[in-house]
Structure 1
């Protein structure tokens, strides 16, 4: 395939910006400032106008906010529901049944990974992650899985392993196969094996890195986790003694406040979280037990609703963005119901408080991601126009795709270099955070280079798919990983740094396996 791309000064400035941000990430520094400066420099190089470049510093995060607000909203509504459940202690009751399975943090880590993989394989991570966060994530934290470990687990199993193969819905292998002009089942089958190899290696490395942080099951883990506030770069925890929640050993019945403000009551082996405002009336206790059952059943019903199209021909169901909206809507309605059950007279006030707390939490966790995402959106043709100051309807250049196409001619024409060249091309196109946007390019490169060197084209297309999706979904802070990190209450940039070694190691090994066996 011949390259007809002409690289301009804007391409080179954009490339320098990408390198500077990646370098800053490697050195564990905040990348917001480099992203803002790179946005200004790139747009100035493209337009030659200072005013347009200054405006781009505003329009870039605004464009990112439009693209990512669905993630903000789902995080907000799920957080609001969790806060409402905390007020009637239903969050602790809800996770109790999972103790039979998650007997400790080590088992909890693998159970969380397995469920994340299965749900994401069938429904994609967008609707699956909130379901996991609503039920299994608190149970895993209770069992002793550290929040960072939970984020790595869901990211690798759900966003990476499941989505990179997309073996059930088959959107990703369909795009790759069409661009490479090969049969879709050939790409899908190879992508499945490569995704399992990559995911298995990444999962093992991540587990080995966090295993020493795994602790024995204790309700205090859940208390500390629920009290945690995060930003994209840091964790903010309340000072000792400032948390409203206390630990009480024993069953919740007949609770009373004893001398010194300590909670006393019937003895028992289970640990539950209570606070001074959580000493519930018998009526509230009944609702607490009710919602501990209703919440999992409601989310299970959503799962069933999304599965039915695979079982009943013609059944519409919900998938993708519609499924995520369904999860968010159910969360909002349940939050109102829980608020009414606690105190129907204060329902309006408490509902507004929970929604506000959820929005504040999501913006605190993700707001600094917007300038970073805005810079990378300059390189994507579909989102670059408003940032570059182009009129509506004007076709914007794809700076990122152009750079990859221009670099294709420098890949040596033998199977080894072509395979890793396609992998690198996929990883570069994946940094826009989509994961799927680069598949037409990697598929086309696979078709051209594979036939030139006599290497299996479907294998190269699968390798490119691995690089694009894994990078887009697990190594970029402005992708669905931001939602995973927010639900787990860990800084998203910290999650990216911890995922870098496991994911890259898995991709390198799986590509080598593909070269050897195909």
Structure 2
């Protein structure tokens, strides 16, 4: 494995970007400049760097297009439901259970956890967010609180454990040379510790900031004010019943036909599109052709406003993976045998530390987190599994525990809860800034990873 100037350049730019993020400044410019610098160094051509700035945006856009579309069409549907007054009727049943911000936080989180275990977080985010956000806002839980709940429970706890679909533990177990059940069973204590510590820390910090007035708790309440029953049109009543039933039917279909990931997301998006068209026609009749275009424009305008600053940021971090960087700069950009810049640097770190139980646990967590910086927690799990096999054998410890630890670190970072370009679904559906959500998650997740790593030292 050869570490080149391109590898070190990528690491240095990451450190610069992290420093700028800590200063609470936007990182669009350093991300675009970072792609340019890597292009110049990798291709030894200024023209290559200039071309890379644009091609990187194309690659990042292709990677994110599915998420952009699902969020945009869900928002389009929501705009229509608000317009006809159906949203006020839809939130009424949940409002009977959710009486205060505390219940709203835990109700949204647990609902997200259960649905994500069966169908993964992407479709679950759209379902849970669209239904529960209005209720939570009405009882005083800010939108950022809803985003934290569904993000930590879904892309954190559910995705890092993945007990039902078993995609994550299968990848880790295959690389580690152990049984999938070993990764899942021996990883249960770590999953529980990580989830409990992180969510409680996030909840405490959220409540503290709400109490101190640092978070607005009366957002968008005007949208959910009580309306006169005599003013409710029949079409709104039909929509209020049909929309929840349609999405409930989606869940049944996902389970019956084993639809997960992108397939499940497509089902949710198609359902939202059908609802948008049908109820626009029923509500607006002859004006529906023009009206549906208005809703679609509003939805996609919102989607692009959210994603516009994220795409150039993601463009840089995708350069850490082998396929995106080769797509932008060509196959000769990396030395022979490279597994991608992030994986190469992770291997270098792993080969540079002393092998004892505390150090291998710390290294497994750090390497897992590093491989998640590209915003895809699954990209680093093969490396996490391979390292677990090497480390576990060297210290005569549990390979399965180490593999589970690396899996947790990779997914919590990149799957993800603290990388801005991986929290987009939760941020967008709750209409908050992805940067704000990532910052709010950062300290709780770091605390959780620290405590989980310490616990792992006693289990290895």
CA distance in 2, matches of 1:150, 1:246: 17
Equivalent in the alignment of 1:351: 292
What's the CA shift string for 1:411-467, capped at 9, x where partnerless?
211000100101000000001111001011111011011101111111110110011
CA distance in 2, matches of 1:370, 1:517: 40
Residues 225, 366 of structure 1: CA spacing in aligned structure 2 closer, same or farther, 3 A cutoff? farther
Equivalent in the alignment of 1:471: 413
CA distance in 1, matches of 2:427, 2:196: 21
Equivalent in the alignment of 2:11: 15
- TM alignment of 1:79-228, pairs within 5 A: 79-212=75-208, 224-225=219-220
- TM alignment of 1:117-516, pairs within 5 A: 117-212=113-208, 224-225=219-220, 251-254=227-230, 280=231, 285-308=233-256, 316-390=257-331, 398-472=340-414, 473-479=416-422, 481-516=423-458
Residues 407, 335 of structure 1: CA spacing in aligned structure 2 closer, same or farther, 3 A cutoff? same
CA distance in 1, matches of 2:161, 2:323: 24
Equivalent in the alignment of 1:311: none
CA distance in 2, matches of 1:36, 1:188: 40
What's the CA shift string for 1:221-253, capped at 9, x where partnerless?
78x438xxxxxxxxxxxxxxxxxx67865x513
Residues 508, 247 of structure 1: CA spacing in aligned structure 2 closer, same or farther, 3 A cutoff? closer
CA distance in 1, matches of 2:433, 2:238: 34
Structure 2: state its 5+ residue gaps: none
CA distance in 2, matches of 1:285, 1:439: 52
What's the CA shift string for 1:460-517, capped at 9, x where partnerless?
10110011000001111122x1011011111101111111100111111112112224
CA distance in 1, matches of 2:418, 2:225: 40
Structure 1: state its 5+ residue gaps: 227-244, 255-279, 309-315
The question of whether the paired residues in 1 share the 8 Å contact of 2:134 and 2:224 is answered with: no
Deviation at 1:334, TM superposition (A): 0.1
CA distance in 2, matches of 1:460, 1:413: 13
TM-score, normalised by the number of residues in structure 1: 0.84
Which structure: greater helix fraction?
Answer: 2
What's the CA shift string for 1:116-174, capped at 9, x where partnerless?
11111111011111111221222222222111111111111000000001111111111
- TM alignment of 1:39-78, pairs within 5 A: 39-78=35-74
Greater Rg, structure 1 or structure 2?
A: 1
Q: State which drifts further: 184-193 or 375-384.
A: 184-193
CA distance in 2, matches of 1:416, 1:409: 15
In the alignment of these two chains, the number of paired residues is: 453
Deviation at 1:193, TM superposition (A): 2.9
CA distance in 1, matches of 2:307, 2:100: 31
Residues 27, 34 of structure 1: CA spacing in aligned structure 2 closer, same or farther, 3 A cutoff? same
Moved over 2 A (4+): 190-193, 212-215, 245-249, 389-392, 394-397
CA distance in 2, matches of 1:64, 1:202: 29
The question of whether the paired residues in 2 share the 8 Å contact of 1:64 and 1:374 is answered with: yes
Q: State the superposition RMSD in angstroms.
A: 2.0
The question of whether the paired residues in 2 share the 8 Å contact of 1:225 and 1:489 is answered with: no
CA distance in 1, matches of 2:195, 2:129: 20
Residues 305, 8 of structure 1: CA spacing in aligned structure 2 closer, same or farther, 3 A cutoff? same
Deviation at 1:307, TM superposition (A): 2.1
The question of whether the paired residues in 2 share the 8 Å contact of 1:52 and 1:389 is answered with: no
Equivalent in the alignment of 1:34: 30
CA distance in 2, matches of 1:26, 1:190: 35
